[in-house]
Amino acid sequence: TGLHDSSGWNINPANIRWLTGLFTLLILAVGVYTGIQSAKRNNSGKLTYGQAVTTGILVGLTVGACVSIIGLIYTHFINPGYANYMLAENKKGLIAQGISADNIAKDQTAMAQMLTPGVQIMQALVLQTVMATIFSLIMGLFLKSRSRD
C-alpha cells in the first residue's frame, strides 16, 4: 500500500507527483535566483549575462544530482516497493478508464522502464538542468549588471 492510504487523505499518486514536481521547480527557481545573486555579490556586484546563465546551469546540475541521490535512497531504502506501488496504481487508473488489456500491458511495460533507477537519474538530471537553464536565461536578463565596464 502507499503511504497516503494510512493517512486517510486518499490523494491520487499522480496528483502527489504533480504537486511534488511543482514544489521542486519552485525550490529550483529560488535556488537559481539565490545562486545568481551570490555570484554577483562575490564578483563585486558585476555579473554578465553569460555568468548568470552559467551559474543557473550549475545550480540545476547540483540540484539534479541531489534529487537523483534522494530518489535512489527513497526508492531503495525508505520505500523499496515504490515502483510496484506506482505500477499497481497506474494499472488501476487504466482499468478505470476502460483501456484494453493489451494496451494496459504495453503501458505497464513502458512505465516499468521509466521507473528503473537509470532512467529516474537521467530524468532528474535532465529536467532540473533544463529548467534551471530556462530560469537562468530569464533571470539573467534582470540580474546581470547594467553598466558596461
Assess whether pLDDT exceeds 90 at residue 21: no
- pLDDT tens, residue by residue, 53-107: 999 999 999 999 999 999 899 889 998 998 998 899 899 999 999 999 999 999 9
Q: What are phi and psi of 29, to 5 degrees?
A: -60, -45
Q: How many CB atoms lie within 10 A of CB 28?
A: 22
- What is the chain's alpha carbon radius of gyration, rounded to the nearest angstrom? 20
> Which sign, positive or negative, has the C-alpha torsion 123, 63, 74, 18?
negative
pTM of the model: 0.80
Q: Is the pLDDT of residue 148 over 70?
A: no
Cell triple for 14 = 499522480
Q: Is the predicted pLDDT of residue 5 greater than 50, yes or no?
A: no
Percent of the chain with pLDDT over 90: 74
Higher pLDDT, 70 or 17: 70
d(CA 128, CA 22): 12
